[in-house]
């Protein structure tokens, strides 16, 4: 098994969380990269950390990993205070950076053994761990390949292997699937679930919203603030009865017209389908009349109007758009 | 050609963004020109610490003193009514590099010379410095010739044995300059130059190789990956330094054996002294390399900074030519570089069998350098994390 089974009973109360922050903040000069972050990630879960570029995701991860000193607030990671127990956090957590950060001139095995050694894993224990992790991630075939010669998906898997060398209870992954083809992404997620079942908590940032749907819980960052957190289904519920679909030939004109309608928060184009987001829950059949009318007036008549199941992408775009107009 | 213009323009934009490189490119040549122009523009040994032990107290003695005092080559000090103890002390000061040479004017010099008896002026020179020693002998020889010409002329003419001064000059040389070359009696230049060359090689190797190491981690993005591990800044520092330290030691042994084998350079120093010099110099230089590496954003910046440190060290440290060939105003800069202490100490250890006590200043200076460089590295590593 990859990962260590939790020893849960040992610490109780608030320490049950994998990550628990309160008012966590980081300023860079006059820029509030992260402000007043109150985030709670339960143990044994995959937590998806979402948000547009520059929202403060990487800054948050770096603070939680001890790479960056917070300028305000507090946080507990794997039950340890990030200011006082840095050493303990480092042993309990793994970090897989956004950019490939292994040694390209070392082989996969040498990279793995190096990071193992740094965590004090050597000799027979290192051999055992190598067999275990490499077979789990199915990278035995690249043991003697120099890391720099690997393609994207293999690199990511090797990076994951190195982040797992010390059996962390909590793993931070910053964009683990960026630039990786869909089948390799699929593999990566299989590994992450396997890890999670083994008892490891995972904290994952991603740009792929279909991946976010697979997380047990997600948080949205925007402009350095956490604007929503909860299970994807719960968050999607917020959009229930607010999303209406419309099929149309002339999508650009129709979009422009519908966006001007009062009560409409946003319209996004998906091929010949428009996804119309209302500011408040509406009865789609009642709304259909107004939509038809406005589109007709713009010379882009709608073929049909129907209710839509909200996705995280709708939510995300809704938040991001709201932020952009507010800013 | 239009394509070339756009490429060139882009290169200028890169330079403009990388202000440090730009400033470096524009300023360094000027600084080097000024510094090196003064330092090596006129390589002439000057102000060599020289002691005159006057046991004569007569006319010739004072003329010697005057002649030495008037020469730019020497920075003389005169001991009047010198005793045997003063001579012994001068020997010791020569060995410990406080003196470049000393001159003993023997008792009764003036009287002997005036009465036509042969008289000997002793000159004892530190020949381990193969630039300074000949200059000293040249200067003193010309002084002696001057003295002799007067004496000879006067004596011969007075006694009626010579009709002219020239005649007299050929007949006798009452004051003889007796030189004694210490520590490198054959005045073998390699004995002076090779310890400096070894210093240069070690300086180049250590600083360049070390300066790229952490900059490379940062460039590759592996620095963050290291920082999340339990490694402390001090551990990262030591772990980075250790391999290069060991390689530098191997290189030192190699080049010393080559210097001995090919050029017959004397390697007869005390082993602990030589080891202390080599180890402290290598550690200090690696420390400087680390500091450069930590403050550089990438490898190319690191190499530029390394060159900026190494070049003046090469020119000013006295590795090729003694510091005494530089104008006195430039010399203090040399003492900012550990290479200066290393070259001086290494020569003293190999040629003069200097002891730890003799080299305490050089060793202490290098130890201080090690402490400062190490401390700065660890502090910088710690603060650069945020």
pLDDT digits (tens, 9 = 90+) for B188-216: 888 888 889 999 999 999 999 999 888 99
The answer on A294 and A180 residing in a single domain is: no
**More reliable by pLDDT, A203 or B145:** A203
**More reliable by pLDDT, B313 or B71:** B313
The answer on A54 and A198 residing in a single domain is: yes
When pLDDT is cut at 50, 70 and 90, the band that residue A11 belongs to is very low
In a domain, A63, yes or no: yes
Q: Which of A120-124, B73-77, B164-168, B172-176 has the highest mean pLDDT?
A: A120-124
The interface residues of chain B toward chain A in range 227-256, judged by CB-CB distance below 8 A, are: 227-231
In a domain, A116, yes or no: yes
The answer on A150 and A107 residing in a single domain is: yes
* B227/A67 CB distance under 8 A: yes
Whether residue B160 has pLDDT greater than 80: no
pLDDT at B385: 56
Average pLDDT over residues B353-370: 92
Whether residue B51 has pLDDT greater than 60: yes
Whether residue B242 has pLDDT greater than 70: yes
The answer on A63 and A202 residing in a single domain is: yes
Task: Choose among B221, B230, B231: nearest Cβ to A101.
Answer: B221
The answer on A298 and A168 residing in a single domain is: no
Task: Choose among B221, B222, B230: nearest Cβ to A90.
Answer: B230
**Residues of chain A neighbouring B229 (CB-CB closer than 8 A):** 90, 115, 118-119
Report the CATH architecture of B48-182. Answer: 3-Layer(aba) Sandwich (3.40)
In a domain, A319, yes or no: no
**Residues of chain B neighbouring A90 (CB-CB closer than 8 A):** 228-230
Whether residue A152 has pLDDT greater than 60: yes
* A118/B230 CB distance under 8 A: yes
The answer on A194 and A73 residing in a single domain is: yes
Ranges in chain B annotated CATH 3.40.1710.10: 48-182
Whether residue B121 has pLDDT greater than 80: yes
The answer on A137 and A250 residing in a single domain is: no
The answer on A206 and A91 residing in a single domain is: yes
**Residues of chain A neighbouring B227 (CB-CB closer than 8 A):** 66-67
CATH number, position A226: 3.40.50.300
When pLDDT is cut at 50, 70 and 90, the band that residue B165 belongs to is low
Q: Which domain holds residue A19?
A: 10-231
Q: How many domains does chain A have?
A: 2
- Pairs across A and B, CB distance < 8 A: 47
Percentage of chain B modeled with pLDDT above 70 = 92
* B221/A99 CB distance under 8 A: yes
Average pLDDT over residues B369-379: 94
In a domain, A322, yes or no: no
User: Distance from CA of residue A96 to its chain's centroid?
Assistant: 13
Q: Does A104 touch chain B (CB under 8 A)?
A: yes
The answer on A246 and A210 residing in a single domain is: no
> Which of A231, A252, A270 is at the close of a domain?
A231
In a domain, A324, yes or no: no
The answer on A260 and A221 residing in a single domain is: no
In a domain, A2, yes or no: no
pLDDT digits (tens, 9 = 90+) for A65-101: 888 889 999 999 999 999 888 889 999 999 998 887 8
* A69/B386 CB distance under 8 A: yes
The answer on A251 and A221 residing in a single domain is: no
In a domain, A74, yes or no: yes
Whether residue B86 has pLDDT greater than 50: yes
Q: Which of A106-115, B109-118, B143-152, B163-172 has the highest mean pLDDT?
A: A106-115
Whether residue B50 has pLDDT greater than 50: yes
Mutation choice for A interface testing from B217, B230, B385 by most A CBs within 10 A = B230
* Residues ≥6 apart with Cβ < 8 Å to B165: B149, B152, B153, B156, B157
The answer on A132 and A168 residing in a single domain is: yes
CATH number, position A270: 3.30.70.100
């Amino acid at each position: 098994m990859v990962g260590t089974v939790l020893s849960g009973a040992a610490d109780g109360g608030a320490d049950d969380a994998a990550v628990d922050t309160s008012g966590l903040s980081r300023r860079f000069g006059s820029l509030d990269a992260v402000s007043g972050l109150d985030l709670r990630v339960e143990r044994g879960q995959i937590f998806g950390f979402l948000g547009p570029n520059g929202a403060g995701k990487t800054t948050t991860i770096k603070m939680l990993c001890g790479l960056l000193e917070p300028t305000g607030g507090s946080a507990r990671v794997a039950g340890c205070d990030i200011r006082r127990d840095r050493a303990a956090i480092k042993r309990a957590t793994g970090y897989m950076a956004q950019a490939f950060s292994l040694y390209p001139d070392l082989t996969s095995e040498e990279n793995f053994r190096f990071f193992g050694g740094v965590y004090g894993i050597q000799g027979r224990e290192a051999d055992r761990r190598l067999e275990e992790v490499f077979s789990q991630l199915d990278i035995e075939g690249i043991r003697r390949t120099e890391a720099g010669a690997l393609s994207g998906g293999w690199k990511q898997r090797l990076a994951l292997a190195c982040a797992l060398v010390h059996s962390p209870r909590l793993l931070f992954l910053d964009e683990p699937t960026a630039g990786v083809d869909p089948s390799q992404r699929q593999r990566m997620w299989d590994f992450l679930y396997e890890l999670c079942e083994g008892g490891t908590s995972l904290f994952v940032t991603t740009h792929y919203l279909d991946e976010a749907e697979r997380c047990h819980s997600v948080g949205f960052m925007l402009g350095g603030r956490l604007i929503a957190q909860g299970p994807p289904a719960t968050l999607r519920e917020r959009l229930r009865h607010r999303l209406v679909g419309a099929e149309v030939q002339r999508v650009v004109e129709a979009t422009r017209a519908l966006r001007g309608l009062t009560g409409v928060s946003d319209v996004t184009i998906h091929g010949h389908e428009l996804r119309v987001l209302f500011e408040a829950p509406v009865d789609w059949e009642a709304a259909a009349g107004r939509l038809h009318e406005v589109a007709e007036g713009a010379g882009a008549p709608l073929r049909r109007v129907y209710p839509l199941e909200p996705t995280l992408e709708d939510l995300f775009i809704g938040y991001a758009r709201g932020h952009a107009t507010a800013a | 050609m239009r394509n070339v213009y756009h490429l060139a323009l882009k290169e200028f934009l890169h330079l403009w963004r990388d202000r440090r490189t730009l400033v470096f490119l524009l300023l360094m040549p000027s600084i080097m020109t000024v510094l090196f122009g003064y330092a090596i523009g006129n390589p002439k040994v000057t102000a060599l610490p020289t002691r005159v032990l006057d046991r004569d107290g007569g006319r010739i003695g004072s003329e010697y003193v005057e002649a030495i005092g008037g020469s730019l080559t020497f920075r003389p000090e005169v001991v009047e009514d010198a005793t045997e103890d003063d001579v012994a002390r001068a020997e010791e000061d020569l060995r410990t590099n406080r003196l470049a040479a000393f001159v003993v004017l023997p008792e009764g010099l003036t009287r002997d010379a005036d009465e036509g008896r042969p008289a000997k002026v002793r000159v004892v020179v530190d020949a381990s410095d193969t630039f300074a020693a000949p200059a000293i002998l040249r200067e003193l020889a010309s002084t002696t010739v001057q003295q002799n010409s007067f004496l000879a002329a006067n004596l011969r003419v007075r006694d009626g044995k010579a009709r002219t001064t020239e005649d007299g000059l050929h007949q006798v040389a009452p004051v003889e300059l007796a030189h004694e070359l210490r520590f490198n009696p054959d005045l073998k230049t390699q004995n002076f130059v090779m310890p400096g060359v070894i210093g240069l090689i070690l300086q180049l190797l250590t600083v360049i190789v070390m300066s790229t190491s952490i900059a490379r981690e940062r460039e590759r993005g592996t620095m963050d990956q290291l920082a999340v591990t339990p490694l402390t800044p001090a551990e990262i520092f030591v772990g980075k330094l250790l391999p290069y330290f060991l390689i530098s030691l191997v290189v030192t042994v190699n080049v010393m054996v080559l210097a001995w084998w090919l050029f017959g350079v004397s390697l007869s120093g005390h082993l602990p002294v030589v080891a202390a010099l080599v180890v402290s110099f290598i550690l200090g230089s690696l420390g400087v390399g680390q500091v450069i590496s930590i403050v550089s954003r990438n490898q190319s910046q690191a190499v530029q900074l390394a060159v900026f440190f190494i070049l003046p060290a090469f020119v000013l440290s006295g590795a090729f030519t003694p510091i005494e060939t530089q104008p006195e105003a430039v010399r203090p800069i040399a003492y900012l570089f550990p290479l200066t202490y290393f070259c001086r100490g290494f020569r003293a250890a190999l040629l003069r069998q200097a002891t730890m006590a003799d080299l305490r200043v050089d060793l202490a200076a290098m130890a201080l350098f090690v402490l400062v460089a190490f401390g700065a590295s660890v502090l910088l590593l710690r603060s650069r994390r945020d």
